[in-house]
Structure 1
């Protein structure tokens, strides 16, 4: 029962992020800038992938040249390539946007989660470490989600169990990415952040799964990104690493 309450609480912090940006509209607009840049990059990449999927599929399957049903097979491979690219875009959107907009989101996070000057780590000191940690997190995400992508083609299981597991795993790592800003500002290293989120697993999953499901809608992810950063800052401040008043 407590786990369910904590999960619901995590969802609540994500919604609180929308409330915070609604009350602080200029920060929402400020946070849209890197999200729009990342979105434009992904749109160009996905259009390129969609346009060239059939050619890539043909290049990847020379062994099928003599098959009578090679065109159908390569069409399915092309569709799988595009869906894989789309899934990768969803999984990496937050990490890439946070990397592009590091100073932007540092300031937004600092507004939602103010710290005393002696506790605050400057962004120029934490940014290189944040980029490195984002790459490590992305490696773990791919380690889990690439096998799940292929399991998605298994009848029944791929349409029921796999999407749920994928949402849970992706949600947890999304929470890791979004809380990095506030936890980095407190000087916490990656292994300590991972340990803290594992200890608060239900809240982390509630926040991350809610964000992940919303981020599945392409342009909504852009609009929601500043709110997700603010919500993560509130989650850290209130639940994960409470700041004494």
Structure 2
């Protein structure tokens, strides 16, 4: 399968997650609640940031104060654009991380329901709670460190004329999609005792599908309150992505999630012709 088809498969995983809004609306509404609450807080913070953007941009480039016009204003405009881009990049990942933490019980239900429609869900690891928590915190810290490093790099590149307005947004979407794929597949990989490094290698073996899944989510998260609808679907789709990465084969449309109340299709049943 070519890279373009694998990318399309990744997009299809998100589409399969979105279909759960039709087949399992109550479950998905539960997942939308924490996303809505966190979204309100983030929206208020972003509005406050925009209201004070002029003064923040002036603070970010204090050396421009001594310059004459139009260079002073032009530098502050570039700084403001770079700040907005960097903040949007960081907001997407912190939003996903905070929402997953706040809504952990809801998203675990969505993950388990999706696993059951694909076959048996992973057996419990029977490890101490403190060890599971430590592993989750460790993965979160490493992902946060990666996000900060990438965000700082993109922010610095945002000051480069032309490149900052063309190449940087594309790089932001590519890197952002990859980090989101790593972040959202945590339930499925952690349940199988897979650490972040193993998660990264498994998804890296089919990077095109991971990007096809993560990039649309990154772009949709930039749309105000779209994350409320996308977040629970992304958790379900991430389960498909993780299963496909672990099996080293993309899941077919007949294997994609159905309503938890609908029984799984037996492996011996080939289903209708596709």
Which protein has the bigger helix share? 1
Q: Which runs of 5+ in 2 are unaligned?
A: 248-254, 256-266, 268-274
Return the alpha-carbon distance in structure 2 between the equivalents of residues 157 and 57 of structure 1. Answer: 19
SS in 2 for 1:113: helix
1:122 to 1:82, Cα distance in 2 relative to 1, 3 A = farther
Report the equivalent of 1:182: 188
**Bigger shift: 119-128 or 101-110?**
119-128
**What pairs with 1:31-110 in structure 2 (closer than 5 Å)?**
31-69=31-69, 70=72, 73-74=75-76, 77-78=79-80, 80-110=82-112
Q: TM-score, normalised by structure 2?
A: 0.77
**Higher Rg of the two aligned structures:** 2
Report the equivalent of 2:28: 28
Q: Deviations over 1:197-239 (max 9, x none)?
A: 11121111111112212222121122111111111112223x1
Return the alpha-carbon distance in structure 2 between the equivalents of residues 150 and 210 of structure 1. Answer: 24
Return the alpha-carbon distance in structure 2 between the equivalents of residues 179 and 24 of structure 1. Answer: 20
Residues 1:241 and 2:243 are matched in the alignment: no
Return the alpha-carbon distance in structure 1 between the equivalents of residues 150 and 181 of structure 2. Answer: 16
Q: Which runs of 5+ in 1 are unaligned?
A: none
SS in 1 for 2:225: helix
Q: Is the 8 A contact 1:53 1:79 kept in 2?
A: no
Q: Is the 8 A contact 1:122 1:185 kept in 2?
A: no
Q: Is the 8 A contact 1:58 1:74 kept in 2?
A: yes
Shift, 1:16, TM fit? 0.6
1:44 to 1:157, Cα distance in 2 relative to 1, 3 A = same
**What pairs with 1:117-136 in structure 2 (closer than 5 Å)?**
119-121=123-125, 126-136=132-142
Shift, 1:147, TM fit? 1.7
Report the equivalent of 2:156: 150
1:91 to 1:76, Cα distance in 2 relative to 1, 3 A = same
1:30 to 1:128, Cα distance in 2 relative to 1, 3 A = farther
1:25 to 1:121, Cα distance in 2 relative to 1, 3 A = farther
Return the alpha-carbon distance in structure 1 between the equivalents of residues 163 and 142 of structure 2. Answer: 29
Return the alpha-carbon distance in structure 2 between the equivalents of residues 65 and 39 of structure 1. Answer: 36
**Bigger shift: 220-229 or 209-218?**
209-218
Return the alpha-carbon distance in structure 2 between the equivalents of residues 119 and 23 of structure 1. Answer: 26
Q: Is the 8 A contact 1:102 1:127 kept in 2?
A: no
From 192, 215, 222, give the equivalent of 1:216. 222
Return the alpha-carbon distance in structure 2 between the equivalents of residues 141 and 106 of structure 1. Answer: 24
Return the alpha-carbon distance in structure 2 between the equivalents of residues 118 and 3 of structure 1. Answer: 29
SS in 1 for 2:52: helix
